[in-house]
Amino acid sequence: MGKLAARLRAFSRNRWLVLVAAMWVQSMAGIGYLFGAISPVLKARLGYNQRQLAALAVAKNVGGYVGVVAGTLSAALPAWAMLLMGAAQNLLGYGWLWLIVTGQAPPLPLWMMCVLIFVGNNSATYFNTASLVTCVQNFPASRGPMVGILKGFLGLTSAILTQVYAVTRATDQASLILIIAVGPSLVAVAVMLVVRPVGGHLQARASDRVSFVFVYAVCLLLASYLAGVKLVQDFLQLSDGVVVSLTVVLLVLLVSPVAVPVALTLTPEAECPIREALLSSSEPLTGEGNASQESPPCASESGGRPAPYLGENFTMMEALVKADFWLIWVSFLLGSGSGLTVMDNLGQMSQALGFEDAHIFVSLTSIWNFLGRIGGGYFSEIIATYRP
């Protein structure tokens, strides 16, 4: 009994279990990409024109990208509190929106509707911050893959939630808004005590590379399966039993990465030991390859702590004075708008081309988004650690 309790304790504190839980949170955090699927029903039920719908899209995008509050709070609050706050915001914003669309709550002026969707979509910043910060702390030598995997799962939200919507066989498209309000909040609350720092830098194993390969394989299989399911459901009229079966397989694929922490917990340490010497003899914990170990860091002019190297943790003020930060900021400013514009208007674009259901387009676009993010994290790590 004592050995079993020790194994369960080790399993609960395994950094790979934290990663899997964070992946589940992130798979529900891309709710903003579903706007293209719900915009037609918003336009029809609320009587909005295209300009008013665009105002809602802008408010939604601003909510999804204004993460200053979440980032500031993450320095003082534990991850579970961040996830709980995000769940509350998501339920409030999209839940109230669903009540208005279905006529169970009185309609609000456009500016208040913008505030409502801003609040709902801002929940994603709490999910992102809690997941990313925690996993980067647990995998300090693998920041590139961590960011790529977790940010990639944002792209699967549309495909997953629209598949859940397909299972319900709901005739009212407003039901998708209810699923958006409830689904992410339930997942965040369910795993909020699992997503936490667990001293992951002391859990490095020689088998970590194999574990990453398995996770990447699951990601590619999941994307391929979702793309196939969406295409089959669009071209064929499937029975309820087949749709349920396809969804069960999807859930199994989502759960399958938990095999990694289970296997590591059951593997005796004598066969796969955790060696602190492995950490001291390998790359720096930043894993970015930018920090030189030959010279000590220079103290800041203010006489405070030594100035961090690229790849280390920066405070807000330390980041704002770095040219790298502003280069990334300008890149996002110039590069993110076009993709968001297309995704926000997929519903109107598909209707203009004669398609009544925009879910297939939103889902497939989100899957390509997922693959691009996963690939970006994988190849960025190769480039950052490359030594000619």
Q: What is the pLDDT of residue 300?
A: 44
* Size of the chain, expressed as the number of residues it contains: 388
Query: Which tokens sit at 24?
Result: 């589940």
Q: What pLDDT score does 338 carry?
A: 65
Burial code (b: 16+ CB inside 10 Å, e: under 16) for 258-292 equals bebbeebbeeeeeeeeeeeeebeeeebbbbbbebe
Q: What's the pLDDT at 206?
A: 78
Structure tokens at 328: 């990334």
> In sequence order, what DSSP letters do the residues of 146-210 get, joined into one string?
HHHHHHHHGGGHHHHHHHHHHHHT-S-TTHHHHHHHHHHHHHHHHHTTT-S---GGG---TTHHH
Rounded to whole angstroms, the Cα distance separating 61 from 177 reads 17
Block mean pLDDT (10 aa), the chain, length 388: 78 90 92 83 87 89 85 89 95 94 91 93 93 89 82 84 84 87 94 89 79 88 86 80 90 92 76 41 39 41 59 70 81 70 68 66 72 69 65
Whole-prediction pTM value?
Answer: 0.79
pLDDT of residue 174: 85
Amino acid at 385: T
What is the model's pLDDT at position 166? 84
Sequence-separated (6 or more) residues with CB below 8 Å from residue 90: 31, 120, 123, 124, 180, 181, 184, 185, 188
pLDDT at 235: 76
CB 176 within 8 A of CB 47: no
pLDDT of the residue at 312: 64
pLDDT at 287: 39
Selection from 313, 287, 316 nearest residue 381 by Cα: 287
Determine the residue type at 16. W
- Inter-residue long-range contacts of 372-375, CB under 8 Å, 24+ positions, other chains counted: 372/152, 372/155, 373/148, 373/151, 373/152, 373/154, 373/155, 374/148, 374/149, 374/152, 374/216, 374/219, 374/220, 374/223, 375/148
How many of the other CB atoms lie within 10 Å of CB of 248?
A: 11
Strand, helix or coil for residue 13: coil
Tokens of 380: 């960025």
Alpha-carbon gap, residue 142 to 381, rounded angstroms: 8
Q: What are the domain boundaries of the chain? A: 2-276+345-384
Q: Quickly name the fold that domain 2-276+345-384 has.
A: Growth Hormone; Chain: A; (1.20.1250)
